[in-house]
């Protein structure tokens, strides 16, 4: 089977159709019609074997996660997924791997409402690069630079599960109960908070996708907004599985800096925070507050504040 036969297999496995796709896969480029009154949101991520996922990750999980991390970026901006392109680098011709990849990729694509409109396939170290395009009403995209002093800092879902799942995987600890399986699924099959992102679009003042760890990603948001803030580690939402797996101190570390959560961290004006906590899809927990003083601080049980000294994931650390 040739490269082009494999590409046809890839695109045939993703059947979502949209009326705004003028030219889809098979030409030199895709042509899409942006609806009047909307703006285009673009994001892209590359996932490399051994760097972003263990080398023995099942291809279906790679297919799901590679799309999910991009959809999560769209969710953080309140965008509706529309069009997807995929570039696959495979170490060898492997139809079984590609079929497995599509078994994870295609269901999430269909659920998102986006269409696969093109891509590329080449030989090399296993890498999956996806570009996702979304639509948002003009002037209404959620951004990182809108937080203001007094805003409440909140997160969707729960934090730290993926970090615990990865630690188990790297320790060759196989899932043995429902807690183990939950943590592993949170690592390999994250759920992009698309519905919550759209709901928050006209309520939150700023938002960021939590991928490199809550503390690191929130620090980026606060810096973009020219403000600071604090969070209470004791208030971070934790799943029953994480509470079962980790003691308090280890749990807080995983939640603050573990990464791979793909939840949303948002800043909410105080006037809407209480309503948002009860009505936001996917759940919302207030964990801190925005302040004028720059930097991120952690609140202690005695009310003291300590500057956050950690870092998030960095592909090119200084001296590395």
Q: Per the annotation, does 232 bind a ligand? A: no
Q: Per the annotation, does 180 bind a ligand? A: no
Q: Per the annotation, does 119 bind a ligand? A: yes
Specify the higher pLDDT residue, 261 or 313: 261
The pLDDT value given to residue 312: 56
Q: Per the annotation, does 250 bind a ligand? A: no
Over residues 83-99, the mean pLDDT reads 91
- Cα(313)–Cα(214) distance, integer angstroms: 11
Q: How confident is the model at residue 208 (pLDDT cuts 50, 70, 90)?
A: very high
Report how far apart, in Å, the C-alpha atoms of 96 and of each of 55, 58, 134 are: 16, 11, 31
pTM: 0.93
Question: What order of strands is seen across the sheet that includes strand 295-299?
Answer: 206-210, 263-268, 152-156, 284-291, 228-231, 295-299, 305-307
Average model confidence (pLDDT) for the chain? Answer: 92
Q: Residue 319 above 60 pLDDT?
A: no
Q: Per the annotation, does 219 bind a ligand? A: no
Q: Per the annotation, does 314 bind a ligand? A: no
Contacts 24+ apart (CB under 8 A), 182-189: 182/239, 182/241, 183/241, 183/242, 183/245, 186/161, 186/162, 186/239, 186/261, 187/161, 187/162, 187/260, 188/53, 188/57, 188/58, 188/61, 188/64, 188/65, 189/61, 189/64, 189/65, 189/68, 189/104
Q: Per the annotation, does 145 bind a ligand? A: no
- Cα(35)–Cα(176) distance, integer angstroms: 49
Q: What share of the chain has pLDDT > 70, as a percent?
A: 92
The pLDDT value given to residue 12: 64
The pLDDT value given to residue 257: 94
Domains plus CATH for the chain? 3-137 (3.30.1330.10), 152-307 (3.90.650.10)
Q: Per the annotation, does 45 bind a ligand? A: yes
Phi/psi region, residue 226 (left: phi>0; alpha: psi -120 to 50; beta: rest), is left
Q: Per the annotation, does 44 bind a ligand? A: yes
131-172 pLDDT per residue, tens: 999 999 999 999 999 999 999 999 999 999 999 999 999 898
């Amino acid at each position: 089977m040739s490269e082009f036969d494999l590409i046809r297999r890839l695109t045939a496995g993703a059947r979502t159709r949209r009326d705004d796709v003028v030219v889809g896969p098979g030409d030199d480029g895709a042509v899409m019609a942006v609806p009047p009154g909307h703006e285009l949101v673009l994001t892209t991520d590359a996932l490399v074997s051994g760097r972003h996922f263990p080398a023995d990750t099942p291809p279906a999980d790679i297919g799901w996660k590679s799309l999910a991390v991009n959809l999560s970026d769209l969710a953080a901006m309140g965008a509706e997924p529309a069009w997807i392109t995929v570039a696959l680098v495979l170490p060898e011709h492997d139809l079984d791997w590609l079929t497995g990849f599509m078994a994870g990729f295609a269901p999430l694509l269909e659920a998102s409402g986006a269409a696969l409109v093109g891509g590329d396939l080449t030989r090399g170290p296993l890498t999956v690069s996806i570009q996702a395009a979304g639509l948002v009403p003009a002037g209404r995209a959620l951004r990182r630079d809108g937080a203001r002093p007094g805003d409440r800092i909140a997160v969707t879902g729960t934090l730290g599960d993926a970090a615990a799942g990865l630690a188990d995987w790297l320790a060759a600890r196989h899932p043995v109960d429902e807690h183990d399986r939950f943590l592993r699924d949170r690592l390999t099959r994250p759920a992009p908070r698309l519905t919550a992102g759209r709901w928050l679009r006209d309520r939150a003042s700023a938002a960021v996708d939590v991928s490199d760890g809550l503390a690191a990603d929130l620090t980026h948001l606060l810096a973009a907004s020219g403000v600071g803030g604090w969070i209470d580690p004791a208030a971070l939402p934790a799943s029953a599985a994480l509470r079962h797996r980790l003691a308090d101190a280890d749990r807080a570390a995983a939640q603050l800096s573990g990464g791979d959560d793909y939840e949303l961290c948002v800043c909410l004006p105080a006037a809407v925070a209480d309503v948002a906590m009860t009505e936001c899809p996917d759940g919302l927990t207030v964990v801190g507050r925005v302040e004028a003083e720059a930097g991120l601080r952690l609140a202690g049980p005695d009310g003291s504040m300590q500057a956050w000294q950690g870092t998030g994931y960095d592909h090119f650390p200084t001296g590395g």
